[in-house]
Structure 1
Amino acid sequence: MRTLTGAIAEDNDSILGGVRTSGSPVSRKKLADAFGRVANRFNFEIAYKKPYDPSLREIGRDWPARADSMIGLKRMQNIKDCVSAVIRDEVPGDLIETGVWRGGATIFMRGVLKAFDDTSRTVWVADSFQGLPPPDAARFPADEGDDLHTKGGLAVGVEQVKHNFERYGLLDDQVRFLVGWFKDTLPTAPIERLAVMRLDGDMYESTWQAIEALYPKLSPGGFVILDDFGSHPTQCGRAIEDYRRQHGITEEIVDIDGFGAYWRKSS
């Protein structure tokens, strides 16, 4: 967990041309980003050193420059707890994350399966691998004005994510990739049952498309994890509340760290 989140390396650099400057609307960050990208062409990296705050990394409130996950330690621990519980309780089904960035959470899912010597489950890695979609305000008004699609630091290619799995020795036939927009990949994905589904799409559209396609496949005793329930309450949060109300879902939503939340399906 500490490696994947950058906590062990106290990773808090702000790299010019990196995730903290790419796509920023702030003028000075735009300039810094352009300057950093020029330097990168000549194999130079320019970084602004910032003090590391472990309390922020604990709850995922900062954005590590080099780490494979930005979700923080509490949300990573939640993954461990949920996957361990479905293995212990023999809840049938695979694991999935929708919206993976550099793959850290799904790498950890695969690592937990390996630690338990569970060879029966697949980890599904679902992402466009090109960032978030522009808002479709006509169909999903809650996303109107959203600018996440402009954030270049959120776009990580599938080959890079596969390489990240390889670096941990965890890219094998228990890992499968769903490449494309959720509306195109999730409804027809060859997933029979799920035990853990982790939704990290930020937007109303992405969250709705993921839960609509996947929740009917979640086994009783399985977990729904919401990375953005508290951080994007009018988008992810509203989509979840709308879906739960529409389908009569009453299980308690449990807070993780103020941003992430989860519930366990009872029936």
Structure 2
Amino acid sequence: MNHPSNKSSSDMRNEYLDLMLKCLTGSIYHDAPTKLNSIVEYDDELREYGWDWPTVAHSMIGRKRMRNVRDLVESIIGNKVKGDLIETGVWRGGACIMMRAVLKAYGVTDRTVWLADSFEGLPKPNVEDYPADAGETFHEYEELSVSIDRVQENFRRYGLLDEQVKFIKGWFKDTLPGAPIDKLALIRLDGDLYESTIQPLDALYDKLSVGGYVIVDDYHVVKGCKAAIHDFFKKRDINPQLVEIDGVGVYWKKEQ
């Protein structure tokens, strides 16, 4: 005999999104770090804070920063902040998969998740224009180059590749100024470099709704990234309150 579930829609939504978080970060199956890490076995604390690079998981940001993605998208939905969601620098797509999962869980059909990336890794530092990036070697890591086909397949595996997911392929300086985006409610910056942080802000910040959020993934771990944020604040004459996420990333809310 089939019995009706006693679970509320809220309970089922939470269970779905909690499971998505565990899967996207590799926590549910204890995905070991890549060979780039000195630690060879899965460590739950490292995965909580995103301090290792998982071998097969679809995100390296760890559970705390992934929860932050969920929380802010839920806040945007609850407060009816207008606009789409974008991540600039997506790796295997995990954070954007979470964004799409939250929209699905709440039955939101009028927002798009945008993924902006070269899908060829990071650019070689342009030291002449962005001296803060001198000495950075992110472009040498083949592991950071994930093709658009692979990211799309990752979405497909969760049943989340649909018309509400759109891709912007190319270097930010070429693609973002003319991107066909009208309004944003969330900007997640994960470009590591000064160049790859300041360019999305310059191109997209004016499209961010009041009440929307900017997440900066690498604020505390890449000097150029942090410098770009504060140079942008100075240029725009703004001083938003930065909120800590996990000792690595921060975010702020656009108040005006």
TM-score by length of 1: 0.86
TM-superposed CA distance for 1:14, in Å, is: 3.5
Report the Cα distance in structure 2 between the residues aligned to 1:137 and 1:4, rounded to whole angstroms.
Answer: 35
Give the secondary structure class of the aligned counterpart of 2:47.
helix
Report the Cα distance in structure 2 between the residues aligned to 1:86 and 1:145, rounded to whole angstroms.
Answer: 38
User: Which residue in 1 is equivalent to 2:241?
Assistant: 252
Report the Cα distance in structure 2 between the residues aligned to 1:50 and 1:135, rounded to whole angstroms.
Answer: 30
User: Which residue in 1 is equivalent to 2:6?
Assistant: none
> Is structure 2 residue 118 aligned with structure 1 residue 128?
yes
Q: Relative to structure 1, is the Cα distance of residues 13 and 198 closer, same or farther in structure 2, using a 3 angstrom cutoff? A: closer
User: Which residue in 2 is equivalent to 1:50?
Assistant: 40
User: Which residue in 1 is equivalent to 2:143?
Assistant: 153
> Is structure 2 residue 169 aligned with structure 1 residue 179?
yes
**What CA deviation, in whole Å up to 9, does each residue of 1:113-169 have, x standing for no partner?**
000100010000100000000000000000011111000000000000000000000
Report the Cα distance in structure 2 between the residues aligned to 1:131 and 1:72, rounded to whole angstroms.
Answer: 20
**What CA deviation, in whole Å up to 9, does each residue of 1:4-59 have, x standing for no partner?**
000111111545xxxx38xxxxxxx9xxxxxxxxxxxxxxxxxxx93321111111
Give the secondary structure class of the aligned counterpart of 2:90.
coil
Q: 1:155-234 maps to which residues of 2 (within 5 A)?
A: 155-232=145-222, 234=223
User: Which residue in 2 is equivalent to 1:44?
Assistant: none
TM-score by length of 2: 0.90
After superposing on structure 2, the runs of 4+ consecutive aligned residues of structure 1 that deviate more than 2 Å are none
What runs of 5+ residues in structure 1 fail to find an aligned partner? 22-28, 30-48
Aligned residue pairs total 236
**What CA deviation, in whole Å up to 9, does each residue of 1:36-84 have, x standing for no partner?**
xxxxxxxxxxxxx933211111110011100000000000000011100
**What CA deviation, in whole Å up to 9, does each residue of 1:171-221 have, x standing for no partner?**
000000000000011000000000000000000000010111011100000
Report the Cα distance in structure 1 between the residues aligned to 2:171 and 2:101, rounded to whole angstroms.
Answer: 26
User: Which residue in 2 is equivalent to 1:262?
Assistant: 251
User: Which residue in 1 is equivalent to 2:230?
Assistant: 241
TM-superposed CA distance for 1:246, in Å, is: 1.2
Q: 1:34-49 maps to which residues of 2 (within 5 A)?
A: none
**Percent same amino acid among aligned pairs?**
54
Give the secondary structure class of the aligned counterpart of 1:178.
strand
Root mean square deviation of aligned Cα: 1.3
User: Which residue in 1 is equivalent to 2:85?
Assistant: 95
Aligned residue among 130, 133, 143 for 2:133: 143
TM-superposed CA distance for 1:85, in Å, is: 0.5
